[in-house]
Structure 1
Amino acid sequence: MAPSDPAPAGGPLAQTIKRPRDPRLDFFRGIGMLIILLAHIPDDGWALWIPARFGFSDATEMFVFQSGMASAIAFGSTFDRSGALILFARVAQRIWQIFWAHIVVFIVVTAIMVVAGTRYDGVTYVESLNLVPFMRDPGNLLAGLLTLTYVPNYFDILPMYIVILALMPVMILASKAHRHLPFFLMIGLWSATQFGLTGLPAEPWSDRQWFFNPFGWQLLFFTGYFLMRGNLPSPAYDRRLVALAIAVVVLTVPFAWVRFQDVHPFFQMAAAKLAPLTDKTNFGLLRFVHFLALCYIAVQLAGRKGERLRGRIVRVLTVVGQQSLAVFLTGMVIAHPIGIALDHAGRTVPAEIAGNLFGFCTMIATAYLVRWFKSSPWKS
């Protein structure tokens, strides 16, 4: 989760030198994928112990930040080697892939909810995901789905990612025009979002906007991108910085953990006053600060260039992180079936252990299967 050396500028050398992959990136992405699964399984008891329950940031920040870092390797080096036209083409191809992945996931999950029927409390699974409007008017809302003007809450992170990717050529070309220009653009877009100037419509029958505003979240994405590219300096080890990061993480717990808010109304009132700074839709400032503190601590724990990341579990999580898009899509599809199975089995401790471990194993198997396919074994 720290940048490697900047990519060489265009020219013959840039075409022959391949940037070494930072092992910390894939390892922490793998952890993030498992946390995201737990967060998406309905009423999962294990989700009470994920980092989001104890601080302002959560696995969404991990996903977005690390996607920015991975994009620096994929798209930044493409620009170095082949120039702007090929960069536009590659970004467009990726947007096309993610767009259709979003559509397919929506259709598959909706079909699962329809087949699942009704929950034990009489609420249909379609209602639990607020998909009743789509079932009533699939024709018009299918058009909204394809134009991203209908974005149900459970299906909102990939549309956010699409918009941020569309901003990438702008930021890359801006960095070539002047090294500080992209940071003015990043901060300007984020600031406009905090004042409610950049909302995108999420459904045609109300004024609800996208749950994840991409113009706010791009600040985190491009922070990861420019850290990996070397445009932003990576902070070195400093005991004072470590102490400050730990203090930030610890001091936010009383204002984020619901148990503290239940104990004394002061924490509940303070959390309410801090809400604009911890807002998830527009990516409030304290979410950014909290995540950077966690990130710095994680980097120090991993050691220089990830030298402390050893062992079989690390290797498995690294493979999961390397295939993060396929694993993420798998998690989106299986999270609700796991919840449905828990509803039928009874939400006992053994059932939750079995359900969550099944989910983990499915995602790990997906990562290894996708890696095997990408190796093109039929060619050898």
Structure 2
Amino acid sequence: MAEPRRARGEGARTGTVVRLPVRARPAPAPRDLRLDFFRGLALWLIFLDHVPTNVLNMVTLRNFGFSDASEIFVFISGYTAAMVYGRVMHERGFVIASARALKRAWQLYVAFVFLFVVFLAQISYVAGRFNNPLYAEETNVLRFLDEPDVTLIQALLLRFKPANTDILPLYILLMAALPLVLAGLLRRPNLTLGLSVALYAVTRAMGWNLPGWPEEHVWLFNPLAWQLLFVFAGWCAIGGSERLEPVLRSRVAVVAAGLFLVVSAVVVLSWSVPALDGVVPEELGELIYPISKTDMSLLRFFHFLALALVVVHFVPRDWRGLTSPLARPLVLCGQHSLEIFCLGVFLSFGAHLVLVEVSGRLWVHMAVSLAGIAIMVALAAVMSWYHENEKRRGPERPPGGPA
């Protein structure tokens, strides 16, 4: 065994071994289950919202405020990405962290291509089987049936996206830009966030967006606008949440956020509840409408911030409910978000098919919704079991290799 390296100086001259102190690597912080819990909740809500005419859509977040589950998904994705790859960039440098982040972006791209192909096959089969071209029209794949070669190329370029898949290409572009964003956040966090705000403001003022296909279409989730939420999440993960700690603990801020949530709920409910018709003054309506989802209106952004403030204030990191059996299904889905999202797209179309072709009774609405969520939880549980089993086995040893 090699002799320990002697330090220069007196110890080296006398032949004694000087043992240098070894700095222990700090143990990683325990996983914040709130991220997995609320990302799993966002995936459930996205699945329910993607089922047209579903009765349970009436109880999802989008019916009680300006924002919906999309903001939750994008924010948590940005927070976890900055937390994971930011640590890698700090410890191992820009190149290694960039390679890992771009690898993740490539995995997302492959998942989108797989989702695109299988989803089109599902819709094409159903449209032909039931002789109903409306299925292809509702899911935005009718153009593929007319021009499959051109549509496939446009899909590979992320310009053509079937219905309910738009958030995945947004996530791909945000992950591809993550190395540059992280480099800025680690060196000049406030300046990087300020540049993100400036890009958002110019985008809204100039009407910028990425082109879609066909030519008259644009991206449903404008990356130039939605990047603000993603970068803000990264800013919080890098250290911004500690700077916001006084605000999170302030009762005045929590009360103000709660009042904003109540007012936004009244405004949104006035769109569908006849009793609340006219509750929003015409002058106020002209000021706040339209509340754009494509360009992430400021009202949507502020509504999400208010919601996040209230949740963080009342749901601490060590809340026991996060480890309860009732929360376990949500946590599992949140830990396997990519696979669960793709599965949810297939299940939402299947649930829509059942409601149209079989029955539209209330109990059928409940059944297909609960069945879809149960299938999502089952897949997440199987994947979690598989990963845990692989960890216990450890790396496989080659035949005849060293123990």
| Contact 1:119-1:125 at 8 Å conserved across structures | no
Q: Is 1:193 aligned to residue 203 of structure 2?
A: yes
Identity %: 30
Where do 1:220-239 residues align within 5 Å? 220-232=229-241, 233-235=243-245, 236-239=248-251
The answer for the alignment partner of 1:354 in structure 2 is: 367
Partners of 2:24 and 2:131 in 1: CA distance: 60
Name the aligned partner's letter for residue 371 of structure 2: F
**For 2:317 and 2:91, how far apart are their aligned partners in 1?**
29
Partner secondary structure for residue 326 of structure 2: helix
Deviation at 1:145, TM superposition (A): 0.8
Whole-Å separation in 2 of the counterparts to 1:136 and 1:268: 46
**More displaced 10-residue stretch of structure 1: 53-62 or 341-350:** 341-350
Are 2:350 and 1:340 equivalent residues in the alignment?
no
After TM superposition, the structure 1 stretch with the greater mean CA deviation from structure 2, 165-174 or 146-155, is: 146-155
- Which whole-Å CA distance do the structure 2 matches of 1:222 and 1:144 have between them? 28
CA contact (8 A) 2:189 2:235 kept: no
Which runs of structure 2 are paired with 1:49-128 in the superposition (5 Å)?
49-117=59-127, 123-128=133-138
In terms of Rg, which structure is larger? 2
Give 1:237 deviation, angstroms. 2.0
CA distances 1:279-316 after superposition (whole Å, capped 9, x unpaired): 11111111111111111111223235434535211122
State the shift of 1:50 in Å.
0.5
Take 2:31 and 2:23, find their aligned partners in 1: how far apart are those partners?
A: 18
Shift of residue 123 of structure 1?
A: 4.7
Once the two structures are TM-superposed, the CA of residue 103 in structure 1 deviates from its matched residue by: 1.1
Letter of the aligned partner of 2:265 in structure 1?
V
Match of 1:40 in 2: 50
Q: Which runs of 5+ in 2 are unaligned?
A: 1-21, 395-403
Asked if structure 2 preserves the Cα contact closer than 8 Å seen for 1:254 and 1:261, the reply is: no
What CA distance in whole angstroms lies between the structure 2 residues aligned with 1:343 and 1:365? 26
- Mean CA deviation greater in 90-99 or 227-236: 227-236
- Using the size of structure 1 for normalisation, the TM-score is 0.89
Q: Structure 1, residues 141-177: CA drift from partner, whole Å, max 9, x if none?
A: 1111111122344321111111111221112111244
Greater mean alpha carbon deviation, residues 168-177 or residues 342-351:
168-177
The CA deviation string for residues 160-196 of structure 1, in whole angstroms up to 9 with x for no partner, is 1111112211121112442322112210121122124
Q: Map 1:203-352 onto structure 2 (within 5 A).
A: 203=213, 205-232=214-241, 233-235=243-245, 236-257=248-269, 258-260=271-273, 263-265=276-278, 267=280, 269=282, 270-271=284-285, 273-276=287-290, 278-352=291-365
Q: Contact (CA 8 Å) 1:190, 1:215: kept in 2 or not?
A: yes
Deviates further, 56-65 or 123-132:
123-132
- Report the residue type matching 1:379 in the other structure: R
| Alignment match, 2:31 | 21
Give deviations 1:307-355, integer Å, cap 9, x for gaps: 4535211122111211111111111121101110122221111111110
Stretch of structure 1 that moved more, 355-364 or 161-170: 161-170
Name the SS of the counterpart of 1:148 in structure 2: coil
8 Å Cα contact 2:109/2:172 also seen in 1 = yes
Match of 1:8 in 2: none
Which residue identity is paired with 2:289?
A
CA distances 1:91-122 after superposition (whole Å, capped 9, x unpaired): 11011100111111111111111111279995
Q: 1:271 to 1:160 in 2, by over 3 A?
A: farther
Q: Give the 3 Å change call, closer, same or farther, for CA 339–115 of structure 1 in structure 2.
A: same
- Rate the CA distance shift 1:251–1:14 in 2: closer, same or farther, 3 A: farther
Partner letter of residue 213 of structure 1? Answer: N
Q: Structure 1 unaligned segments of length 5 or more: list them.
A: 1-11
**Secondary structure at 1:375 match in 2:** helix
Q: Aligned partners of 2:240 and 2:177: how far apart in 1?
A: 17
